[in-house]
Amino acid sequence: MASASESLNVRNRSLQGLQEFWIKGLLWLSAGFSIAITVVIIVILFGEAIRFFADDSITFAEFFGSTKWTPTVGTTAESKSFGVWPLVCGTLVVTVIAIGIALPLGIVTAIFLSEYAPRKVRAFLKPALEILAGVPTVVYGFFALTFITPQLNWVHQLFFGEEGFAAFNSGAAGIAVGILCLPIITSLTEDALRAVPRSLREAAYGLGSTRFEVATRVVVPAALSGIVSAALLAIARTIGETMIVALAAGSTPNLTVDPRDGVQTMTGFMVQIAGGDFSNFGIEYLSMYAVAAVLFAMTFGLTLLGHRIRVRFREAY
């Protein structure tokens, strides 16, 4: 009797061992899936980009040297021009406006939330920021198109006596993207500020510092790596933002820094090609992969850098 139950137990054990092995294998496979996604992204984007550059009429020097982007003009590869700078410029203009708005506002809001806000105000403000972060980007695009642009024109009329902003302009798109980035920067910065230990603040107060001095000379410097990484992540997010610029920034690849003009961003171009009725095998279709590869390289680099900064320069207390 005893030996029977013992052998049953042993069989159970080995069965269990087998089960453990299978389950571990399955879990490992699903973790490997995320690696596979990265590999597939890189292979597809850069593989198709190489096919794009393999075309006789396209040169590397033209792509990164020319300032004319007219992939949809004419029918032959010779009549089209592929210089990526207008798209990169459009992206950068929108990014600079967005980050120029979101970074200072976000940091100040985060300082308020972590250092000064009474609990009741915080309980009100945090959910509001979470709602702002959860609003779909197409809504911000609509808001930029139908609200921000008219308001910008109103302000422009006030100062210059005439409406200066085009119906599609990088200014309104930049502001909307800035609103989108504000909660991201705020919450990441606030996390970094809250991680600064209380003892540092108390020491500074003990030495006679005011609340302003404690915030700006002690807490912010101590959390600087977190703030820089928040800014980098927000920039990556801005560069990859699509629906807002597709709706509000227009679709004319301009090499301009004037926020009143329409621009086309890299993401805007990808949407135009994918949404339009261009042939699936034409050279302009392949150019979409080249642009996507540039976009991917930029955001991937920024994300990696932000992560590195956060890990390496973290002040450990």
Binding residues for other proteins restricted to 228-267, rule: CB under 8 A: 233, 236-237, 239-243, 246-247, 267
Query: Nearest distance from residue 267's CB to other proteins, in Å?
Result: 5
Size of the site for other proteins (CB under 8 A): 89
Residue from 235, 114, 257 nearest 186 by CA: 114
x/- string (CB under 8 A) for other proteins, residues 212-231?
Answer: xx-x----------------
Tell me if 295 sits within 8 A of 302, measured CB to CB: no
Query: Nearest distance from residue 79's CB to other proteins, in Å?
Result: 25
Sequential DSSP letters for 30-81: HHHHHHHHHHHHHHHHHHHHHHHHHSTT--HHHHHH---EETTSSSSTTT-E
3-state helix, strand, coil in the chain (%, to 5): 75, 0, 25
Tell me if 261 sits within 8 A of 167, measured CB to CB: no
Sequential DSSP letters for 181-226: HHHHHHHHHHHHHHTS-HHHHHHHHHTT--HHHIIIIIIHHHTHHH
Return the number of the residue (61 or 280) whose C-beta is nearest other proteins: 280
Return the number of the residue (33 or 160) whose C-beta is nearest other proteins: 33
x/- string (CB under 8 A) for other proteins, residues 49-88?
Answer: ----------------------------------------
User: In the set 132, 195, 228, 255, which binds other proteins (CB under 8 A)?
Assistant: 132
Site for other proteins contains 139 (CB under 8 A): yes
Binding residues for other proteins restricted to 267-296, rule: CB under 8 A: 267, 270-271, 274-276, 280-281, 288-289, 292, 295-296
The structure tokens listed for 310 are 């956060």
Query: Nearest distance from residue 92's CB to other proteins, in Å?
Result: 15
Site for other proteins contains 191 (CB under 8 A): no
The structure tokens listed for 99 are 């980050």
